Copies of this chain bind each other. A is one copy, B any other.
């Protein structure tokens, strides 16, 4: 377009700045259409209305397509675009795409409902993602930084770390243990309650036991924690119920948040997300405090895994 002017300038014409009275608008396009409508010719009005009525659809059309759809010609479409303040149809189209995107992103609050049996998969995905995001926000907001700090300090200096979790929480427990192992700590996750208790007996002052239970009332997790507590270990509870029985034997309590649940959305989902966030915070905190040993350890474990991958493709 710049080029157009340049080339066209076959005649002297000094440096006259083009009129350009209206800068291209972002989204107030419908308004513009309404203001301009009276000064438009019939065909142009048809184009303008079509465009204002279905930005998304029109953004997908070429000049020719839009001309056909409105029963006019390409020239008219371009003229309309000019009248609306754009240098040409191309730019109108771009603005249209923007408008469509805005409309689409604005029209997404309908996912707060519960997941039901006949929801299409697209809704399931949106709702799940939304819920988990909500859970993360809640958890992060409710985390007690003082408790977290204390828990991190205990872990960072621990001689040995035991983690207890059953059912869905056992995966979280394993995750924590795996991560701590990777930065050189001696950590173990116990899913079997008997072994957990057996091992808890070994713990003493300076060791750390972590119990992960959403309900705060899971016997299989409370028992080993109590044993560890009684043997002098520092105990940490990660639970959704800061008043649950598990907290009786916990030096530090980290509260995970609870989201609304339903038949199709069992507790495991959002509580797991919440627990994992807490675990990650613990891990990063510990890694920071033991950075000198953690960094090489992380590197080493990465290197060790490399050969388990097929050679690069590309």
Residues of chain A whose beta carbon lies under 8 Å from any beta carbon of chain B: 26-27, 39, 59-60, 93-95, 97-102, 104-105, 107, 115, 117-119, 121-122, 124-126, 128-129, 132-133, 136-137, 139-140, 143, 145, 148-149, 152, 166-168, 171, 174-175, 178-179, 182, 215, 217-220, 222, 243-245, 263-266, 268-269, 272-273, 276-277, 280-281, 284-285, 287-288, 291, 295, 298, 302, 305, 308-310, 312-314
CB distance from A260 to the nearest CB of B (A): 15
**Copies in the assembly, this chain:** 2
The answer to whether A101 and B102 touch across the interface, beta carbons within 8 angstroms, is yes
Task: Determine the chain B residues whose CB is within 8 A of the CB of A313 once the complex forms.
Answer: 39, 217, 243-245
A155 CB to closest chain B CB (Å) equals 13
CB distance from A140 to the nearest CB of B (A): 4
The smallest C-beta distance from A312 to any residue of chain B, in angstroms, reads 8
Given contacts A26-B104, A305-B167, contact A137 B145 (CB under 8 A): no
> When chains A and B are docked, how far (Å) is the Cα of A101 from the Cα of B59?
14
A145 proximity list for chain B (CB < 8 A): 121-122, 125
Residues of B with C-beta under 8 A to A280: 128, 269
Q: Which residue of B lies closest to A310 (CB)?
A: B217
Further contacts, 7 of them, CB under 8 A, given A171-B171, A266-B298: A94-B97, A98-B98, A119-B288, A133-B137, A167-B178, A171-B174, A218-B309
25 residue pairs of the A-B complex, CB under 8 angstroms, read A26-B104, A27-B105, A39-B313, A97-B97, A97-B98, A98-B98, A98-B101, A99-B101, A101-B101, A101-B102, A122-B145, A124-B284, A125-B281, A128-B140, A129-B136, A129-B139, A132-B273, A133-B133, A133-B137, A167-B178, A217-B309, A217-B312, A244-B313, A245-B313, A264-B284
Verify A26–B101 contact, CB threshold 8 A.
Answer: yes
Q: Which 7 A-B pairs have the closest CB atoms?
A: A98-B101, A129-B140, A217-B309, A94-B97, A97-B97, A217-B310, A171-B171
Q: Give the most central of A124, A152, A244: most B CB within 10 Å.
A: A124
Are A143's CB and B171's CB within 8 A?
no
Chain A interface main SS type: helix
Known A-B contacts A121-B149, A122-B145; A295 and B26 likewise in contact (beta carbons under 8 Å): no
Flag if B308 contacts A220 (CB, 8 Å): yes
Question: Judging by beta carbons under 8 Å apart, are A175 and B171 in contact?
Answer: yes
Are B284 and A215 neighbours in the complex by a CB distance under 8 Å?
A: no
Instruction: For the complex formed, measure the closest distance between the CB of A306 and the CB atoms of chain B, giving whole angstroms.
Output: 10
